[in-house]
Amino acid sequence: MNGVQDYVGWGFVHISIGNLVVIILMILIFALAVLLPFPGGQESER
């Protein structure tokens, strides 16, 4: 934790690689939660 970290920079934005990975995973999980249907959501009502 006290070691040297690698950073990615785009203009004025600088973010560590670890934080970038966490943000990408959170966006991916959110997108999957929005796009995938709920279990049993395709049942037809009679």
The pLDDT tens digits for 3-21 are 888 999 989 999 999 999 9
Residue 16: Cβ within 10 Å count: 12
2 within domain boundaries? yes
pTM: 0.69
As a three-state string, the secondary structure of the chain is: CCCCCCEEEECCEEEEHHHHHHHHHHHHHHHHHHHCCCCCCCCCCC
- Structural domains in the chain (count): 1
Residue 23 lies in domain = 1-35
Contacts of 16 (CB under 8 A, 6+ apart): 5, 6, 7, 8
28 within domain boundaries? yes
**CA terminus-to-terminus distance, the chain:** 59
41 within domain boundaries? no
The pLDDT tens digits for 19-41 are 999 999 999 999 999 998 777 76
40 within domain boundaries? no
